[in-house]
Amino acid sequence: MKNTIKRIWHTLRRPSVHYSLGTLVIGGFVAGIIFWGGFNTALEVTNTEAFCTGCHEMRDNVFEELKTTIHYTNRSGVRATCPDCHVPHDWTDKIARKMQASKEVWGKIFGTINTREKFLAKRRELAEHEWARLKANDSLECRNCHNFEYMDYTAQSGRAAQQHSTNLASGEKTCIDCHKGIAHELPDMSGIEGW
């Protein structure tokens, strides 16, 4: 084992004997493009609704619930897909979230929520994770579309304008504080502030 590592290290340290510098540079460059492009393509594939709903855990529970809400069907036909709300758009944040999501792969393999009953039992915990995430990043994923700077209070209903112009404008509250359950059904809300 130790000898093998030593031999590889020795090979790496020596200059190339058979391949020209050009081959190595150009070859490395092409391989880099293929690797990086492939990585990003694979990453983007995991960032689609088809990927999320590929598992029955998402398709039969949360995706079904989304279908009745305004984020799925509405007057203008602009809609949000799973990653729009659940995955950060910036690259570094996205990678951090994807690394966290490796735990979800674990959950999938061991069937943590593979029945409706298990999902319902775990719903409060799962919802709390999402509330905590959105609270911590000031509802960043909401704000990717719903930009406060461009909100027209006059086009909102009286109540909405009142809340948005005071509590939201002052930064005292963020979207998720009031809009829990906007796209999915709520878990048992006993003990949650504001419920």
Partner 1 sequence: MKLSIVPLLVASILLGIVSLVVSADDIATLRNATAIDTQKEPEAIPKVNNDDVRRSRAYPMQPPLIPHKIDNYQVDLNANKCMSCHSRDRIEESQAPMVSVTHYMDRDGNFLAEISPRRYFCNQCHVVQHDAKELVSNQFVDMYQLMNQKQQESGNQPAESSD
The residues binding partner 1 (CB under 8 A) are 68-70, 157-159, 162, 181, 185-189, 194-195
Q: In this complex, which beta carbon is closest to partner 1, that of residue 101 or of residue 178? A: 178
Q: In this complex, which beta carbon is closest to partner 1, that of residue 149 or of residue 193? A: 193
In this structure, which amino acid lies at residue 63? F
Would you list the DSSP string of 102-156?
HHHHHHHHHTTT-SHHHHHHHHHHHHHHHHHHHHHTTSHHHHTTS-GGG--GGGS
CB atoms within 10 A of CB 42: 10
Q: Taking Cα atoms as reference points, which of 136, 19, 60, 42 lies closest to residue 98?
A: 42
Residue 183 CB, shortest distance to partner 1, in Å, is 9
Q: In this complex, which beta carbon is closest to partner 1, that of residue 64 or of residue 93? A: 64
Residue 189 CB, shortest distance to partner 1, in Å, is 4
3-state helix vs strand vs coil in the chain, percent to 5: 65, 0, 35
Residue 43 CB, shortest distance to partner 1, in Å, is 33
Residue 52 CB, shortest distance to partner 1, in Å, is 21
CA torsion 112→117→122→128, rounded to 10°? Answer: 130
Q: In this complex, which beta carbon is closest to partner 1, that of residue 20 or of residue 162? A: 162
State the Rg of the chain over Cα: 24
Residue 115 CB, shortest distance to partner 1, in Å, is 18
Q: In this complex, which beta carbon is closest to partner 1, that of residue 22 or of residue 191? A: 191
| Contact (Cβ atoms closer than 8 angstroms) between residue 183 and residue 67 | no
